[in-house]
Structure 1
Amino acid sequence: MKIKPLKKIELYGFNNLTKTLSFNMYDICYAKTPEDRANYIQYIDEQYNADRLTEILTNVAKIIGANILNIAKQDYDPQGASVTILVSEEGEFNTNINEEAESPGPSSLGSVAAHLDKSHITVHTYPESHPDDGISTFRADIDVSTCGHISPLKALNYLMQSFDTDIVTIDYKVRGFTRDVNGKKIFIDHKINSIQNYLDVEFRDRYHMIDVNVYQENIFHTKMLLKDFDLDNYLFGISKKDLSPNEKRKIKNKLKKEMYEIFYGRNIIKV
């Protein structure tokens, strides 16, 4: 079967659409003692310090083809880190838009062409512990905002691979408009039905996923919850063999409650 090439839209000047991807990930664990909870926070701070986050965001910039103008990074006391990268277009302005098909981007670095201007990539981390019941969480918020014809959704697979995460919430919005050569406004320049279509099959199979999309406003939202639950993967400083059956049941219920509350965005009395 012969596939017809997608028709390009001829623009009047540069593509002024702004596309923003907000990627929020959560890691959940149970740390039994105050010492274990402190060690978990220290572990997360070391794993996702400003230097490591800078490396991840620099690779995101390479994937979407951005030219890095400036990097600002900061580790915080007692915990957390932030990185902001200002990026610009690379190469000549492209006055044609490709109506890109929904397809996953690379999971690792490769050669991806892009044309960007007035764009940025940011990350902020939020490690925290419940004061009483042993639950600790780590949240990372990443925003990738681009102007031009490429969508930051192409960096989604790499972000999923970079963060071993239990819960993910993804928001994608196209803002503003650009014009074709006849002056007609264009409010979105690529086809999109769901953020899920930009993820590799291995990620889609690994998570329960829910979409909440407002197509008329070019707003797309996907929530993801890890399917598999092995208690050992959620224990810090101890293992299942150190716990009685009753302790395992109680800890599992605590962890499930925490995960469901984050996933559904509301407090739950019982699981």
Structure 2
Amino acid sequence: MTFIPQQHVTLHGFNNLTKSLSFNMYDICYTKTKSEREAYIEYIDDFYSAERLTSILTNVSDLIGAHVLNIAQQDYVPQGASVTMLVSEGPVVEVPEETYEETPGPLPEAVVMSLDKSHITVHTYPEYHPEEGISTFRADIDVSTCGEISPLKALHYLIHSFEPDIMVIDYRVRGFTRDINGHKLFIDHDITSIQNYIPEDIQVKYDMIDVNVYQEHTFHTKCKLREFDLDQYLFGDTKEQLDKKDFDDITALLKHEMDEIFYGKNMNPPPTKND
């Protein structure tokens, strides 16, 4: 399949292609007691409040050179938050020479891109299993742009902001634009994998699976942390306070939860000390 870089094509009017990035992340935690589960949910709700999420989305907007038109934000009861941001094309600080190069985007200190009319949204879903002691935090973020800029340039910063245990990332180019002769263009940049927009120092931390449908301009990547340190997943105790059986059972339970989320299906539960 041959892609024609947009900078080599003269367009008829505005670039009407819509590029959409969906970034779905999970944080997993073991919360042994009801009070620990409630404390975890309270912590997540406070740390990822609508106000903080608005700050993250504002940085995303700045990274791609957008101007914020409107912000709607809401903290929900009993838990969760949402932010919706409408943005328009902002001033170009510096036009990069290789706009379409498959490389990770910058962090907020280096703003070099412009953006056409778009929207950015985030929704959070803290929840817990009432019996098994597993609590999870999920955040769904969508960055949708029209015009020349790919929202994939915001991916590096989003990973940096959430440091997730699991990521599910989708990117799709929809619609079409026309060149000066009226021929339709259904994509205006080369792309082989979402992974090319993730820095190598982050890639090495994750196991990754790609499912790409090139003819439909649809790209999908799933990521799960490779290394497992139980202390990173205990909300109350530390691993030194656990006996070997509890250590093994909790580790198996957490890895089972992560595998189910990563592969998107229910699996046989791991054996426990009572089996």
**TM-score, length-scaled by structure 2:** 0.92
SS at match of 2:110: coil
Q: Which residue of 2 aligns with 1:95?
A: none
SS at match of 1:25: strand
> Does 1:217 pair with 2:229?
no
In 2, the alpha carbon distance for the partners of 1:143 and 1:115 equals: 15
Deviations 1:194-231 (A, max 9, x none): 00001111111110000000000000000000011000
Q: Which residue of 2 aligns with 1:175?
A: 174
Q: Which residue of 2 aligns with 1:25?
A: 25
Deviations 1:101-151 (A, max 9, x none): 21110133312221312x100000000000001000000000000001000
Q: Which residue of 1 aligns with 2:55?
A: 55
Q: Which residue of 2 aligns with 1:67?
A: 67
In 1, the alpha carbon distance for the partners of 2:6 and 2:71 equals: 37
Residue ranges of structure 1 left out of the alignment (5+ in a row): 93-97
Contact 1:56–1:162 at 8 Å: present in 2 too? yes
In 2, the alpha carbon distance for the partners of 1:166 and 1:224 equals: 8
The count of corresponding residues between Structure 1 and Structure 2 is: 262
Q: Which residue of 2 aligns with 1:38?
A: 38
Q: Which residue of 1 aligns with 2:243?
A: 244
Q: Which residue of 2 aligns with 1:88?
A: 88
> Does 1:160 pair with 2:149?
no
Contact 2:20–2:142 at 8 Å: present in 1 too? yes
Q: Which residue of 1 aligns with 2:144?
A: 145
In 2, the alpha carbon distance for the partners of 1:164 and 1:7 equals: 34
In 1, the alpha carbon distance for the partners of 2:164 and 2:109 equals: 20
Q: 1:214 to 1:61 in 2, by over 3 A?
A: same
How far has the Cα of 1:99 moved from its partner?
6.6
Q: Which residue of 1 aligns with 2:113?
A: 113
Contact 1:25–1:141 at 8 Å: present in 2 too? yes
Q: Which residue of 1 aligns with 2:266?
A: 267
**TM-score, length-scaled by structure 1:** 0.93
SS at match of 1:13: coil
Contact 2:62–2:108 at 8 Å: present in 1 too? no
In 2, the alpha carbon distance for the partners of 1:151 and 1:99 equals: 9
In 1, the alpha carbon distance for the partners of 2:6 and 2:21 equals: 24
In 2, the alpha carbon distance for the partners of 1:36 and 1:135 equals: 10
How far has the Cα of 1:78 moved from its partner?
0.7
Letter in 2 for 1:139: R
Q: Which residue of 1 aligns with 2:76?
A: 76
Contact 1:123–1:140 at 8 Å: present in 2 too? yes
Contact 2:65–2:91 at 8 Å: present in 1 too? no
Contact 1:99–1:190 at 8 Å: present in 2 too? no
Q: 1:37 to 1:251 in 2, by over 3 A?
A: same
Letter in 2 for 1:16: N
How far has the Cα of 1:54 moved from its partner?
0.2
Letter in 2 for 1:216: Q
Contact 2:209–2:221 at 8 Å: present in 1 too? yes
Deviations 1:7-45 (A, max 9, x none): 521111110000000000000010111000100000000
Q: 1:69 to 1:7 in 2, by over 3 A?
A: closer
Q: Which residue of 2 aligns with 1:233?
A: 232
Q: Which residue of 2 aligns with 1:122?
A: 121
CA RMSD of superposed structures (Å): 1.7
Q: Which residue of 1 aligns with 2:273?
A: none
% identical equivalent positions: 62
Contact 2:6–2:188 at 8 Å: present in 1 too? no
Letter in 1 for 2:32: K
Residue ranges of structure 2 left out of the alignment (5+ in a row): 93-97, 271-275
